[in-house]
Amino acid sequence: MKKYNRRDWIQRMAFANTALLFSGLLLSYGMEKKNTKTILVISGWQDVNIGDIAHTPGLLNVLQSYLPKTKIILWKKSKGKEVGELLKKNFPAVEIIYGNVDKDKKVDNAEILAAVEKADILIHGSGPLLVGADHLAFWIKKTKKPFGIFGTTLQNPSDYHQSILKKASFIYTRETHSIEHLKKAGIEGDHIKFAPDATFFMNIKNDEKANQFMSDAGLEDGKFICVIPRLRYTPYHKFNPNNNGWSDEKVKEVETVNALKKEEDHAKLREAMIAYVKETGNKVLVCPEMTYQVDIMDELLIDPLPEEVKPFVLKRGYWFPDEAASVYSKALAVLSFECHSPIIAAVNGTPFFYLRQPEDTIKGQMYYDLGFNDWVFEIEETTGEQVTNRLRYLWNNYEQSKSEVKSKIENIERIYKESTDLVAKILVTNNQ
């Protein structure tokens, strides 16, 4: 038998201990990988609206912030290459998959089937209604695992949507009015709560692109306002196939109301623009939240302005929410008929006005739910002078205004934290 001296013995023991430690680490790593929970997210409804795009990075940021040990798979409904690249750039750890559900609630995509098999829970992202209803129906048909809704408006849910919602483990509506609509449909419980649109947690920016644009346009930090136009009804029939499924009567109604109200609405915003330019000597940036708004900027917000004001007004073509966020963060304020540009502004500490049109669904209630009452103007109950006076107050009391916005955003973070606590409990319970 070979004899070992003390030095040999110490070296052998050290090697054995190292091997044991390495084996333990491998085992620990394997257990950790095995115990990692996977969340499948359905989101990304369309790419012609920076608000719809912003839902997705907002929710991904919520989940990564408050459920950091989970793996996330995004089942993205729209297939735009540029938005997909934007998300991959900002969320490299998130796997992105695509694929439709057919009328029989089936999919022929192996990638989706694998994601459903791996996922421990499915979450439907923010939106104007249960946009991913068919995706949820497929999940219900394929598995008994839990699912939930995050920050979605559920106004007058159809019978089909009700049948899905009744099986949800949690329902977070993006305003409290939806909770009342659910009650009318017989859907109640402690699992139903208010959690605002996930855009309130969008953290992506593109400072490089924004700085270049501002330099080219001659815009200075804090010395310009952004204004966003909007027709009473989004004219989806003009850029969606088959008239967006609308009847001729529906198209006529949309066009009639838009033609009737567009000048009345935007004259009020122009009044504030004129006062801002004349009293401060600063500039105004007219920008879009949706693609179609690029075509109405001149008619509604620029051409009717006094000639002496026009040189101070610039416009921006359609952009993505990362660049918009960077520009909004440098603006004095954002005044918008659209719902989501004010949210993107608020997230970045910039005061905003939401000029709310009654046709823009009940989603605007979330602003009141969050205490932003002084920042919302119901357009049919508001004069141009009132918008102007409020804007004048803002630029004369700017730090106070920014402080008010910041305090509200901090409360939203608390709501998201509480919302994801319930998701975490469901994940743990479902594993037992």
Contact call for residues 329 and 202 (beta carbons, < 8 A): no
Q: Domain segments of the chain: what residues?
A: 36-201+412-430, 207-396
Alpha helices in 74-192 (DSSP H): 81-90, 110-118, 133-142, 159-165, 177-184
Can you give the pLDDT at residue 34? 53
- Find out whether 170 and 39 touch, Cβ atoms under 8 Å: no
Q: Which fold has domain 207-396?
A: Rossmann fold (3.40.50)
- What are the structure tokens assigned to 27, written together? 């085992």
pTM: 0.90
What letters, b where the CB count within 10 A reaches 16 and e where it falls short, cover 193-211?
bbbbbbbbbbbbbbeeebe
Backbone torsion region of residue 222, taken as left when φ is above 0, otherwise alpha when ψ lies between -120 and 50, otherwise beta: left
Q: What is the DSSP letter of 290?
A: B
pLDDT the model gives residue 424: 95
Tell me, yes or no, if the two domains 36-201+412-430 and 207-396 fold the same way. yes
Q: Report the amino acid identity of residue 38.
A: T
User: For every one of its 432 residues, what pLDDT tens digit does the chain have, with 9 covering 90 and above?
Assistant: 444 454 454 444 444 443 333 334 333 334 344 578 999 999 999 999 999 999 999 999 999 999 999 999 999 999 999 999 999 999 999 999 999 998 888 887 899 999 999 999 999 999 999 999 999 999 999 999 999 999 999 999 999 999 999 999 999 999 999 999 999 999 999 999 999 999 999 999 999 999 999 999 999 999 999 999 999 999 999 887 777 789 999 999 999 999 999 999 999 999 999 999 999 999 999 999 999 999 999 999 999 999 999 999 999 999 999 999 999 999 999 999 999 999 999 999 999 999 999 999 999 999 999 999 999 999 999 999 999 999 999 999 999 999 999 999 989 999 999 999 999 999 988 765
pLDDT at 431: 63
Q: Which residues pair with 41 in a beta bridge?
A: 74, 123
pLDDT for residue 24: 41
- Choose among 124, 155, 144: nearest CA to 56: 124
Q: Which CATH class is domain 36-201+412-430?
A: alpha beta
